[in-house]
Amino acid sequence: MKLAGAKATAFFAKPDKTCAGLLIFGMDAEKINTRRQEVTLALVGKDAMDEMRLTRIAAGDVRKDPALVLDAIKAQGFFPGPRAVVVEGAGDGLAALFAGAVADWIEGDAYLIVTAGSLNARSKLRKVFEASQNFYTIGIYDDPTRPEEVDRMLVDAKLTNVSAEAKKYLLALARDLGLGDFKQVLTKLSLYKLKDDTPVEVVDVQACAPATLDADIDDVLHMVAEARSGEVGPTLSRLSGQGVNATALCIGAMRHFRMLHAAVSDPQGPDVGFSRARPPVFGPRKDRLVRQARGWGGPRLEKALQELMDTDLMLRSSKPVPAMAVVERAFIRLAMMRPK
């Protein structure tokens, strides 16, 4: 069975009692690892490793000895309680093995939790888990942490008294930080406010947040394409501090807007256009790009590409120019070009 969006988030926090196993896949290894830890803790508890109720197996070992997985699922431990078998780094080459394990699973066997890299919709491994009613598949995509998930994490960290401004700041951090790093911030904040009944304020969050936040070129490109002009400057400052140069930003922006233009120019619309892209775009990232393409439309995207070409020529000219300032002005003009 396939889970996505809010249902997937809720499942990680409180797995369904009928769950027998789970496949977690995607490009973000850190987020997959965090999710795997969450669901394992929810299923078997924090003492599972000490009580030998948790078995972790690398996919490479399974290829050498295919019997490892089924033996571990069926094995009975000395300590009472639920058991779990975690297989990390699986791929389509192990689909037949997992098909047998899924088919042979009965009540009382260990939970089967499998992690994998990026898998497309035709993946054999995905089909094994999606075809079963009590085994689940969840794709982890490069999308920001949802507000409702931040609310749940605040409750888990016993941070229920948070001011409105501090909440906005935390939501911004959740968007900029990886899931694991954001959880560390909440853990520090919980300790920082220990035995302090006053509301969490912005200054409290700032005291626990990283001194500098890494930014990605894609972050600022999405800001430009989504008309979030007020966020462009601070993000470019962080990118500049990380050593990203103006030419790389301009090239990235041209690639992004060409992709939007190609999709919106498709006779069947941007949804089909992104499906035909190479490499293909899927999941929440595709939905986000489709919204961007429709928000811009063909004529505005052509003007945006012209603006970026002029900026690129200015950066490459022999005349010295303040490169980052030129790119910042161009990006802000583009962000203000699209109607909100």
User: What's 92's DSSP letter?
Assistant: G
The residue whose two tokens read 């999606």 is 130
Residues contacting residue 135 through CB under 8 Å, at least 6 positions apart? 1, 19, 20, 21, 22, 23, 102, 105, 112, 128, 129
Q: Do 15 and 42 share a domain, yes or no?
A: yes
DSSP assignment of 160-211 equals --B-HHHHHHHHHHHHHS-HHHHHHHHHHHHHHTTT--SPB-HHHHHHHS-S
Q: Do 9 and 134 share a domain, yes or no?
A: yes
User: Taking the model in full, what pTM does it have?
Assistant: 0.56
Q: Do 112 and 182 share a domain, yes or no?
A: no
Q: Do 169 and 255 share a domain, yes or no?
A: no
Quote the percentage of the chain above a pLDDT of 70. 96
User: Domain span at residue 316?
Assistant: 217-337
**Mind listing the pLDDT tens digit for each residue in 65-110?**
989 999 999 988 788 889 999 999 999 999 999 999 999 999 889 9
CA-based end-to-end distance of the chain:
37
Q: Do 104 and 160 share a domain, yes or no?
A: no
Confidence at residue 147, expressed as pLDDT on a 0 to 100 scale: 83
Q: Do 13 and 123 share a domain, yes or no?
A: yes
**Mind listing the pLDDT tens digit for each residue in 267-293?**
988 888 887 777 667 777 788 899 999
* Domain end point (choices 97, 112, 140): 140
- The CATH number covering residue 257 comes to 1.20.272.10
Instruction: Report residues of the chain scoring pLDDT below 50.
Output: none
3-state secondary structure of 20: coil
Q: Do 240 and 326 share a domain, yes or no?
A: yes
- The CATH number covering residue 120 comes to 3.40.50.300
Provide the number of structural domains found in the chain: 3
The residue whose two tokens read 């605040």 is 154
Confidence at residue 178, expressed as pLDDT on a 0 to 100 scale: 73
